[in-house]
Structure 1
Amino acid sequence: MIAVIDVRGAENDGLTAIAELASTATEGGVAILVLVDSSQNVQILEQCFESGATHYLDFADSGANLAQAIKYAYRYAENFRGGAERTSHEHSMLTFADLQWSMTLGPVREYWISESLRMAASEIDFGRYPATGIYRNLSSEERKRVRGAMGRLRDGARQAAVPHRFKGRAVIHHLHEAEGRIFGRIEYLADNEEVDDWRGRDLLSGLRNTAAARTWVREKLEAGKPLTLIAIGLKNFRMINAAFGRNVGDQLLRIVGHRLMDQTQRLYAGSQIVARLDGQNFLIALADIHSSEISAFANDLFDSVFSDLQWEGRPIHLVARAGVAIGHKDSSEKTLIRKAVLALAEATAADALPIKFSSVSEADVHFEELLEIQLAGAMGRGEIVIAFQPQLRVATGQLTGAEALARWEHPEYGLLGASTLFSVAERAGVMESLSTQIHKQALTLAANWPESLGFLSLSLNVTAGDLAAASFDVDILAQVEAAGFEAERLTIEITESELIGNLSASADTLQRLRSAGVRIAIDDFGTGYSSLSYLKQLPVDYLKIDSGLTSDISGSPKDQVVVRSIIDMAHSLNLGVIAEGVETESQLDILIEQECEYFQGFLRSGPLSPDEFEAFALRSN
């Protein structure tokens, strides 16, 4: 939808109309095109954008072109809505461009080519090559873009776009899939807008892409501008995709991108750029913002962008995190962006800290880059190893099982912990394969414990990405069977924050696992998202009290009350309780008094290698 509002000669009424329309159209993909004359009021453009306008046409400019302005506004609305408004040939022909085609999917292909397209490309034999005629005339680089766009459609995206040249002119080739058919529409760009300019644009969200952001940051740094970079990520986005579908996920990314751009412009008047980095991650760069204003800006941005998100009347709870890096003239754009992304990874790992300021040095950045490059090879070389953290009964000290923990046995840097390993894997894009390898390895080791230890349980940590996979329950049970381990001895642990946003899908997956005999534990309970309502909905067997709470129980009576309330609540729901991080006898005594069932921690043993754990278990048996 495009709204054209002429404010010339009626500025107050026009601004009111813009504000009223913008207040109801923030998430609807509505383009608000205003017609102005800045020669009569030099501030009118700023007033229109503050009221909510998205596009303008200034008749003070002798080259003002209403048709072109409407086309740009239409492209904005179309990209925002994912091309969903066109679902038939007839509707497609109502768009501002008439160079169009479509084809059905499936074994029998039917093609439709508009007469305007046939005439515009008369040298192409569409009768012989109805689907590939234009493709055959593209450069190798342009063909690569087409294959990538079609791949996105096959993966579930509703819309994709390809910049290329058509008969010597720069065009955007819009693609979308609807009702078993792929639609194509060719749109000419303005004479002064080159294809390469659009290569700097993220065609899903309409924001700038990583390459464009790097260029902007580099130019500002070279000009001596102090910069603040804020990398923003959606922690539970994969689970949102699993719960609502890829198309909804794409639309949410557009909404978030749109809000980030609008709210950044509202909150900061200085030089800025808003970009989409990759997947669910965005970048905001601000020039000349004072360091004392950064925290307030970031918090205001979070409050305005991520509150009240809905899809078809259903609330969507996106868990957002941010990493902040500050650069000066001696910084490089690559290192500065990297520092912001690393800070984002730290914020994502720490549930209680939504915004993290970078404290890493350039040496740290280069170290992390090196680890990312090496990780895939390390997985193949067997450098990812398992350690077992013993779990014991509080009342008797009897060994009951172990939690499997992953470590990277690096040949140069020694044993790297789980937080480093998983943050590197996340950025390297190998989380799924790493998680699968860890689960398989731990199950195989546990299945080979001596027969006398056949009563011990095994706890596996599960990531949000694992739980989001549609076949996760089937895959993990297949691994259990292949290893020869009993499902009844397996406990799946998942943190609270990873359950937020797709509770029903998580509940269904966990229920299927529980029906197969697997037990379910909520890890790090009490770290920020504790909710009695979801505990009542999920098939849970245990709560694991976060080590931060356990360390406090030997302190003031108030600290003990918190742990006592968690234990009492768990027992009222017929759940067992496991206390993490127990390091002193006084902590254990209090847990005995409060009738906590199980514990783990350095009081009895830290994480052990497989051989060390087996020896420990045999001594304890």
Structure 2
Amino acid sequence: MTGWHGEDAARQRALFLLSFRQRDELAAILSRGGWHVVAARRAEGLRQRVVASGAAITIIDARGAVEEGIAATAELAQIAGHGDALLVLLSRNDSARLGELHDAGATHFLVSPIAADVLLQAVRSAERHVVRMGGGWHDPHVGGGAALGWRHDGERGTLQLTPALAEATGLPELGSSRAALRTIGQAGRRTALTAIRRLRDTLPATAFAHDLPGVGRVVQHVARDPHTHRLHALVEPLARIGDIGAAVREALGSVRDLTGARAWLDRRILAGERPGVRMLTVAGIDAVNRQQGRGAGDTLLRAVERRIERAVRDAGVARAALARLGGADFAVLLPHGADAGLDTALAQALARPFVAGSVMVTLTLQQAFGVARVGEDGGALLHRVGSGLPGSTAGAAQARRPLDDVETLATEIHRAIDRGEIAIRFQPQVHLLSGAIVGVEALARWDHPDRGELGAELLFAAAARAGLVEALSGHVQQRALRIAAGWSAPLSHLRLSINVTAEDIAHADFADTLLARADAGGFPRDRLTVEITESGLIADLGEAAGLLATLRAAGCRVAIDDFGTGYSSLAYLKALPLDYLKLDRRMTQDIVGTHRDRVVVRGVIDMARSLDLTIIAEGVETVEQRDALATEGCQLYQGFLCAGPLTVPALEKLLA
């Protein structure tokens, strides 16, 4: 294996990276900084891999994995040569462990948040340490027999394998890339070639997963040398893990809105079940809106929702789902009808005072319960139970029923579209590492002449009742594209994400229609992301996959929105050509929840990353959530921590 790293060492230095959560992002930053990066996500075989890499600098990303980081540091310190550098990245919350890491053998430290330029400066400092202390690059041949890796020379058409990889696969150490590709089958070839084609100056490193005969499931970490254009790869065997799908389906039963609630109930009724509904109306939010503003009221509603979720979970109601119907109205959906003791648990949970802005408030909860009758669909069940809600407290006006709202508003949708009452707001999407705003999601609002601003959930629920979802969706897309095409220079680099519905996707000509809307408005296709809202059900995933592939071929990107809110999540991931996965806000909140919550979220993130999907977390409200998501490997976020949905002038002011 002569020449594995040796002939390139003078041009590009070797660096080993171990990151349990953000391997790909860090590898890309370091590769762009001129380093030949050998990156790993797991610590198995760490010594052999570091020695095989020929690196005198090792970065251990211990953010969110401090115990594993300390163990890895101690292991590598035992084999580090004189002058080698061990740079450890640490979460701010774990900064008290710096002494332990120093004792374990770390030579350099960085504490989060860590910007890309700061990381590169730290690596340069580590490089100066190596030179100053008389260190040097290791001989990659010493102890390297256990490393699995390869190097491809495009000019010569040759593929060099490490001895361990050659032995495991039965391939010669020096052979052709075509012969190697034949061993991994058609699906593996497609995955490998797709990933490698992504490599370019702005993306010098990538990774992809596939099954490798003789080894099992692996992740290949591939980097392109910017000078020779040769490809170098480390092949990382994956530990066998159980199917996390069952855990995801069990833990993520929430649905988003009235439309999703009806679909959830209809599926169970069609399956022969008799689901139940507990309808909830929370009184007291309006007073907070009047006294402290809508922002305080929205924050209070999110706190109410979290308490309801926790009460349902603590009551042990299996497979229950929670839907926000609009305003302060919620529905707990119960697959088996029974909910013994849930009414008491909910009443007790919401009886405790809430913090609203600068004051403590006590809210009043009203409940009604019902089970599906023979011949009754989900919509009828919701309407019947909603009609049975008791009135408000004495002396107050009768509480407005959520489904009465929908029925009334459904008659006004045509007027709203014709009179221009549908407004577009833009919520920023932020890069977790750099803090830069890189895109926005377009969100619809109804500027109702009598009721003020109404949210998208109530708006689309009314459109669904009126049979105008497609008309409303098209109107919102057209308006968002036209507005974004006229953005001023400070906004001209942002990506625009627009939502499409299952009704949109059901039309075979939808891709052409959407592209025509973008072209007519003058918005660039390559800055457009199409988000599939998962509260709708795509009936034919095969046809949807073809349609979305057409959009991707035209330069658009595709995201699955609110991942985890519907039963079809895992089917979508397997069947649809996707670029982004958006974590539902409930999953975002779970990242700082119980150990079980964190395990599920971590599993979903790992699964998405293995599919080369960029992960966007929705509903990030606290620094704690943001930092935990960054630690777990999430790349982007949106939520009130940065900003809520904004008008264009407000967005320009935020970027300025």
TM-score (norm 2): 0.41
- Flag the structure with larger Rg: 1
TM-score (norm 1): 0.44
With a CA cutoff of 8 Å and minimum separation of 6, indicate the structure with the bigger relative contact order. 2
